[in-house]
Amino acid sequence: MDGGLTFIMDDVVIIEEDVLSTVVTWPNAVTAIRLALVPVYLWLVFSLHRYVPASILLACLGITDWVDGYLARRLNQTSTFGKILDPVADRILMITAVVSVAWVHAVPLWFAGLTLLREVLVSAAVLLLAALGAKRIDVLFVGKAGTFALMCSYPAFLIGHGPALWQTGFTIFAWTMGSVGLVLGWVALGSYIGPARKALSDGRRPQSTS
């Protein structure tokens, strides 16, 4: 009896170690840090009204999006948890950036609205597919590129929000990157239709018992 119990406990320990090895990784740590700094950004914007340091922090959070993916590949620490956490973090950061920058009137409402609508549609589609039993869809490069461009544009919109002459350059950069990012984002949304159908079909296909 004691031997059987010890065997079961050993199995539990091994399973827990396997779970931890796929959750506690350097890529996931980077993503967690990015999420943890979101309240700091909001504090700079809404409590201190320090738009320049806030925009620098927001830019760093957006630009470092590639770091977790690079580490996952470099360290061979790719995990299902990380593949879920990373796009969730992207959605949170994007929505935070759009709402906050629009709230201080640093970006036109129509531009922010189109950005938010795309994010809402993507999030709703992901939840719907998961509820229908579809397999997980890998993030497309065009979607990552669009998100990256938008995450570069919103800090630029924020730092360019002012009458100083030096801020004009940031506004031009914001419109350039933002326009590219918005187009790529909507193109990516259409590009997911095919993979979504396949993921739904694969998820509903009866599994072989042999």
Residue type, 191: S
- Residue-level pLDDT at 24: 72
206 inside domain: no
Q: pLDDT tens digit string along 61-104?
A: 988 877 777 777 777 767 766 677 888 888 899 999 999 999 99
210 inside domain: no
Residues 197 and 128: beta-carbon distance below 8 Å: no
Residues 8, 62: Cα–Cα separation, whole Å: 45
Residues 148, 144: Cα–Cα separation, whole Å: 6
- Residue-level pLDDT at 19: 46
Entry pTM: 0.80
- Residue-level pLDDT at 55: 95
- Residue-level pLDDT at 173: 96
Neighbours of 53 (CB within 10 A): 14
Taking the CA atoms of 91, 190, 113 and 178 in sequence, report the sign of the dihedral they define: positive
207 inside domain: no
99 inside domain: yes
- Residue-level pLDDT at 206: 66
- Residue 59, domain CATH: 1.20.120.1760
Q: Which residues of the chain fall below pLDDT 50?
A: 6-21, 209-210
204 inside domain: no
Query: How many distinct structural domains can be found in the chain?
Result: 1
Residues 121, 118: Cα–Cα separation, whole Å: 5
- Residue-level pLDDT at 108: 96
Range of the domain at 104: 2-199
